[in-house]
Amino acid sequence: MAPSIGTSTSRVDGRAKVTGLAKYAGEFAAPDLAYGAVVTSTITKGRIARIDASSALAIRGVLDVLTHTNRPKMAAGDDDYRDDVAPEGGSPFRPLYDDRVKFNGQPIALVLAEDWETAVFAATLVQVDYEEDGFATDLHARLEQAHTVDKPQKPRGDAAKAFAGAAVRHDAEYFIPAEYHNPMELFAATVVWNGGGKLTIYDKTQGVQNVQRYVCGVFGLKPDDVRVMSPFVGGAFGIGLRPQYEVVLATLGALKLKRSVRVVLSRAQMYGLSYRPATIERVSLGANAGGALDAVAYEAVAMTSQHEEFSRNDAGWAEQLYASPNARYAHKLVPLDVMTPCDMRAPGAATGVYALECAMDELAVALKLDPLQLRLRCYSDRDQESGLPYSSKQLKECYRQGAEAFGWDRRSPSPRSMRDGSELVGWGMASGVWEALQMPFSARIILTANGHAEISTAATDIGTGTYTIVAQVAADMLGLPLDSVTVKLGDSTLPTAQVEGGSWTAASVAHAIVNAADDVRKELLSIAQTMPGSPLSGLAPDDVVLADGALASKSDGGRAVAVADVMRHGKMERLEKERSSDFKEDDKHARNTHSAIFAEVKVDEELGVIRVTRVVSAVAAGRIINTKTAASQIMGGVVWGIGMALHEEALTDHAFGRVMNANIAEYHVPVNADVHDIKVIFVDEPDSVINPMGIKGVGEIGIVGVAAAIANAVYHATGQRVRDLPITLDKLAR
């Protein structure tokens, strides 16, 4: 039987998704189901003086209107329950908690009705009087209030002195606006009332056990009384790492009515959830005449909310890419009257590497050096902060293979020197870097005598292909064909799993499966060796392998026993094993994934319209479990990078504190016409240090560096350097 790991395998859940059999959080049926519609604030800061729900309650079919005055009891404060479900020690926003309004679009009431249309209509009839306070939502206007959070990396040497004495210097400020996740599936929760206070919650989330802990903590419920399920997720990209408010509202409704309740947010209400924070990045690079870096100084200033502090490391990514004896990094936050930002694909890296790689390109221009050559001259085989070597780093090979596939050697160095008819042609490149993380996950294997295996873990598949890679790893470890493996995910009653994020799920869950499969193999061997005349007699567990439905000697395939015969001999109908991914901590190596991105743009010389016509992304991310789904992840990241570079921007009217383009017509994202030729290359990167299978994960790395490569290509095409994203034709016209 050919191995499954490392092949291009179609999704095992693909048929269910394209035929509609896959159900999402807002689609599960429940008896006696009521519907909730959310009323949101029209002011940005202040308090609710009065809510008049009488007109809504007068509508036939309306069951109740919940506000902060009549909702079921919630924990009085963060100290009243165990809160380990939010980043940076914060706490997810709890709707209807009190009369305070903290951001525009905040949920302030929930209308419950017999059907969705009635609930939505009645919500428009709820009258609210406010006492409004002054507010601030503009990052640039509040920079004097920026305060420093923990430094991302320790300083080395004297960056200021080295920069001042550098032969060639570059110092510039880059800006990335707030960006919203906009997954295809709206955030929704269906809370099924099972009687006796027991709840089954279908929620759109990246971590079912995370949501279960939160709901139990906020409402004082017993874990055995709350089951959270999320078998399929229509995209999340980080916004589902922490519980969002729809699950709290739906639970409030179910507890109040003592019946099942569904809440689905509108697309506009999704802009009242979290987002990638707007960030100002100041990068200073000093180099000698040959291009070696003498100094790196990086300061990031990002927005956060007044009620919670959120930050990610934008500033320190040069440490994983480039050698420099002097470096200084800082990350600052400006509290604003907004909803708290959150993680968004490759948090910190997507924004920080954008500024860093644009600055490197500008330094290359100042040095009159090819941008790729500059990066090679500054290349580092060690993490600059810790001094540790990498478990693996094939970034040079990414540069080589990516440049060759793109045809980089044919690049004319001067801006505006390449044309295609009436269009200016630009070629740009950038490096990408992300962390290679792994977390404790558990998995259970149930092997039956008829040669079928069921693999279960509470991990969530957010569309990345987790169902498929779990099936592939299990099939290879158990010696079964792929269609003999069933996978169960996204259920809080299953073995423990962390939230799905950070690109850690593949490595983490794969090793839990490997460990459980080892236990299966060991037990089967112990039984097989009790069989009369066993051909496996005297063999140790490491001497045998599961293959083609049999337990066989590694060195002599003729010494084998069918698994069905072993289980029949042991009078076993099923064999069950559960294990965790018990990684050993390694403090002797740095662990990262890397990439090299090459982009071609064509710019209409008269209109300034930019088209991204070609992208090559060469990625080094350890062992790739599924080349098909992994390539899809990288391609999706590239498309998102195109959006980041040219399209995405949340526009806030700071007079009202409100996002004005809260829809996917005016909040621009790439469409089919914006996406042309994308080539993904996976560079071979054996890594026996990071974990036994050499897996790193690819979910995040695909977007990192893409916006910079495109911005650099736009400069090469036009000679115009636009440092504030997105790059639009009006900015080129300046």
Active site residues: 700
Q: Give the whole-angstrom CA distance, residue 434 versus residue 429.
A: 17
Q: Which residues pair with 389 in a beta bridge?
A: 382
Q: Does 532 sit behind a cis peptide bond, omega within 30 degrees of 0 on the bond before it?
A: no
Q: At what angle do helices 627-646 and 706-718 cross, to 10 degrees?
A: 50
| Chain-centroid distance, C-alpha 590 | 21
Tokens 């997954």 belong to which residue?
183
Q: How far apart are CA 567 and CA 525, in angstroms?
A: 10
Edge-to-edge strands of the sheet including 199-203?
A: 62-66, 107-113, 34-40, 261-264, 188-193, 199-203, 226-229
Q: Given the structure tokens 């299966």, which residue do they identify?
A: 520
Phi-psi category of residue 318: left, alpha or beta, with phi > 0 → left and psi -120 to 50 → alpha = alpha
Query: In whole angstroms, what is the distance from residue 703 CA to residue 315 CA?
Result: 17
Minimal CA–CA distance to 471: which of 455, 447, 494, 448?
455
Beta bridge pairs of residue 370: none
Q: How many CB atoms lie within 10 A of CB 379?
A: 15
Q: Cβ contacts of residue 252 below 8 Å, gap of 6+?
A: 66, 71, 72, 74, 95, 96, 110
Question: Of all helices (H) and strands (E), which one includes residue 57?
Answer: helix 54-57
Region class of 109: left (phi > 0), else alpha (psi between -120 and 50), else beta = beta
Q: Enter the tokens of residue 516.
A: 């459980």
**Who contacts 275 (Cβ-Cβ below 8 Å, separation ≥6)?**
178, 179, 180, 181, 239, 339, 341, 342, 344, 650
Rounded to whole angstroms, the Cα distance separating 654 from 666 reads 18
The tokens of 301 are what? Answer: 């200033």
How far separated are the first and last CA of the chain, in Å rounded? 62
| DSSP notation for 531-580 | STT-TTTT--GGGEEEETTEEEESS-TTSEEEHHHHHHHTT-SEEEEEEE
Distance CA 618, CA 403 (A): 9
Query: Would you call 568 exposed, middle or buried from its count of C-beta atoms within 10 A (0-12, 13-18, 19+)?
Result: middle
Q: How many helices (H) and strands (E) does the chain have?
A: 15, 29
List helix spans (H) across 368-435.
Answer: 371-377, 395-406
CB-CB neighbours of 2 under 10 Å:
6
- C-alpha angle 726-729-733 in degrees, rounded to nearest 5: 120
